[in-house]
Amino acid sequence: MMKLIHANFARMIKNRIFWLSEAFLAGYSVFVYLMAARNLKLNPVAVNWNLYFFNAILVIGVVIAVFSVFFIGVEYSDGTIRNKLIIGHKRREIYLANVLVCFTVGMIQFLTCLVVSAVSGTLIIGTQMLALHEPGWCMLHCVMIIAAYAAVFCMIAMLDTNKARAVLEEILVAAVFLILTLQIYGDLTQPEYTNRTALTQEGGFQVEENIPNPKYVTGNKRVLYEWIDAFLPADQAMYVIDSEAVYSLRAPCCLFFETVVLIMTGAYVFQKKDIK
């Protein structure tokens, strides 16, 4: 398997998409801090520094999807995956080596963003941007989010030999993630009680406090949403950039479990697959 990993990394280094996305993300990280500096002038209090520092985690899924579909897709379109099988490499090892390279690319690109963010943030804003909320937990979440993305998108790219169709499938999966995230994260972050401002008969305003929020999800539905939430990488990315999020081991564990199950399922299906 080391041979395959070595070969994959040698190919990754020469991959144009890898370097283009690396440049894009570096530029994106600088842009984020330019926007942060602008926002800081408008509202100098209560700045959420996680939003700027870990912002790349919101787009890293797209980067992994694009990279995996082209990096692995070319093995089918050029037929080079046959070269690995013909000389006796095990299918399981070929699959794992590809997952590993996709995960590594995700990590390299994310770490690049963090380094560029740290440098550009310090230069543009100053060291105050390093006042992050729970950076350790955030990093753990980010690693698991990247692993889950690598497992999902690698599975699609490995199991569909048609590159164009695989692109569509990855876009579809990304869209499903986004829709679920918007729905579930939106519902789960609703406050339990809200305040209501009403107009009095005298023409003044009356603030009613602690009114139960009808949009607040309760009971079994909330439990179900929390579990789905823990398995959605895009959803977890929202918590990473939230300066008030409360972290637990549940989400990283769920993402880890999801990654392992996806890799095992993908490797099993790939094992049975007829390759032309």
Return residues touching another protein (CB under 8 A). Answer: 2-4, 6-7, 10-11, 14, 16, 74, 78-90, 272, 274-276
The CB-side HSE value for 204 (13 A sphere, CA atoms) comes to: 3
Say how far apart CA 70 and CA 164 lie, in whole Å: 10
Question: Based on CB atoms, which residue is closest to another protein, 9 or 225?
Answer: 9
For residues 98 and 35, give the distance between their C-alpha atoms in angstroms, rounded to a whole number.
36
Which tokens hold the place of 91? 């299918």
**How would you class 118 by CB atoms within 10 Å of its CB: exposed for 0-12, middle for 13-18, buried for 19 or more?**
middle
Q: 202 or 274, CB closer to another protein?
A: 274
Identity of the residue, 22 or 134, whose beta carbon is nearer to another protein in the bound complex: 22
CA-CA distance, 62 to 105, in Å (whole number)? 12
Return the number of the residue (8 or 117) whose C-beta is nearest another protein: 8
CA–CA dist 140, 123 (Å, integer)? 26
Cβ closest to another protein, residue 105 vs residue 245: 105
Helix axis angle for 135-159 and 250-272, nearest 10°, is 20
Min dist CB 8 to another protein, Å, is: 9
Cβ closest to another protein, residue 84 vs residue 133: 84
For residue 94, the minimal CB distance to another protein (Å) is 10
Task: Show the tokens assigned to 260.
Answer: 């392992």
R_g (Cα) of the chain, nearest Å: 22
With DSSP H G I counted as helix, E B as strand and the rest as coil, what are the percentages for the chain, rounded to 5?
Answer: 75, 5, 20
Q: CA-to-CA distance for 109 and 26, rounded, in angstroms?
A: 8
Taking the complex as a whole, how short is the minimal distance between the CB of residue 9 and another protein, in angstroms? 9
